[in-house]
Chain A
């Protein structure tokens, strides 16, 4: 399956949804101040994206072009509500911590972007794989941002104190503006490495 490998590399690196396509920025800013929240939220995104792509690829043959996007939105909303219900029933504490952010997965542009760009024109299984790997690309960037924000903003990682008490937490790391800086830095590093690769090739 060289196809699957190529998709994996593309979605994780050369066409990463965040730093190449610059999609899904709103949630990258909002949920990345604690690693645990980021983790659960991005797992939700991976699930929704994989299932949406699978479903869209399965029914695309029956879909009239006019209502294509509307139906995609319906499918995305469907899976997001399923995730929300599961969290509420079986992980009530995490559901409480994430609050409105689970519902906001619906508005994540990466999901619709992949459904429209990939699942509409590819078979079901490879579409599902594309959705999942796009989700992993998103997860990787968000976890990197969350790692630094939680470390510098709280002195903790996954809620465990790692920096000494003498460390003064940077309040700005907890608020959304710091994610702008980190996102900028990550895009900068990513693009620089990519340009070098391009020049070498």
Chain B
């Protein structure tokens, strides 16, 4: 058969595409469960991190997560955990970063006095620059930070703001627009929390 003929070309292209796509479909199907499991685990881990609950292995994540109360408040899922002296409330957020959506979990004290913590689930910021929002030093800044005038300011750039009472955190050097995006996201989230929890700060 003439390999350069139109019919052969069409049949060959069709067959090759068919074979490769079929194999891919199988590969996708056989890893899907594992991928979903990973995503679910990542989400639960993020919620626990934001709520400042420590855990060890994957089984422990599951167990600790089961202790959290899930409340549905007008379509928004809230995750509540009872701490020694207060109740911590966490909520998933998403907002636009520089290159794409930033998704994560923010947790606050029920009385909107302080934050409890933050965890980033997904982002597309520049690796090494804006991408550093998921590094511990950045997230640690939002651990027990006082909320001043119903807002958290991302101001300037630095290595992490140690002052937990000024309602401010440091932005990231060289990633002004990601820092600005975080500022907007945090302000929005705090006001959403305020409208849901009816905070007094």
Give me the interface of A with B, judged by CB distance under 8 Å.
31, 33-34, 37, 59, 62-67, 70-71, 74-75, 78, 81-82, 85-86, 88-90, 92, 96-97, 99-101, 153-154, 171, 174-175
Contact = CB atoms under 8 A, between A and B. Distances in A.
Specify which of A37, A65, A66 lies most central, judged by the most chain B CB atoms within 10 Å of its CB: A66
Nearest to A98: B127
Specify which of B9, B16, B31 lies most central, judged by the most chain A CB atoms within 10 Å of its CB: B16
Given A66-B9, A175-B174, 18 more contacts: A31-B127, A33-B127, A33-B128, A34-B127, A62-B12, A71-B16, A78-B23, A88-B31, A89-B38, A90-B34, A92-B35, A92-B39, A92-B42, A97-B127, A100-B124, A171-B173, A174-B128, A174-B129
Interface in B21-42: 23-24, 27-28, 31, 34-35, 38-39, 42
Interface residues of B, number: 26
A61 B170 CA distance: 61
Contacts, number: 68
B174 A174 contact: yes
B128 A71 contact: no
Contact of B4 (A37, A65, A85, A174): A65
A66 B4 contact: yes
A21 B122 CA distance: 36
Nearest to A82: B27
Contact of A64 (B12, B20, B31, B39): B12
5 contacts: A64-B4, A74-B16, A86-B31, A92-B42, A101-B127
Nearest to A55: B20
Interface of B: 3-4, 8-9, 12-13, 16-17, 20, 23-24, 27-28, 31, 34-35, 38-39, 42, 122, 124, 127-129, 173-174
A153 B174 CA distance: 12
A93 to B, nearest CB: 9
Nearest to B173: A171
A171 B129 CA distance: 9
B27 A85 contact: yes
Contacts of A92: 35, 38-39, 42
Given A33-B127, A37-B127, A175-B129, A78 B38 contact: no
Contact of A171 (B23, B27, B174): B174
Specify which of B35, B39, B42 lies most central, judged by the most chain A CB atoms within 10 Å of its CB: B35
A121 to B, nearest CB: 16
A157 B87 CA distance: 41
B35 A82 contact: no
Contacts of B9: 64, 66-67
Nearest to B11: A64
Nearest to B157: A171
Contacts of B13: 67, 70-71
Contacts of B174: 171, 174-175
A73 to B, nearest CB: 11
Given A66-B9, A67-B12, A89 B31 contact: yes
B7 to A, nearest CB: 10
A199 to B, nearest CB: 40
Contacts of A70: 13
Given A33-B128, A71-B13, A64 B3 contact: yes
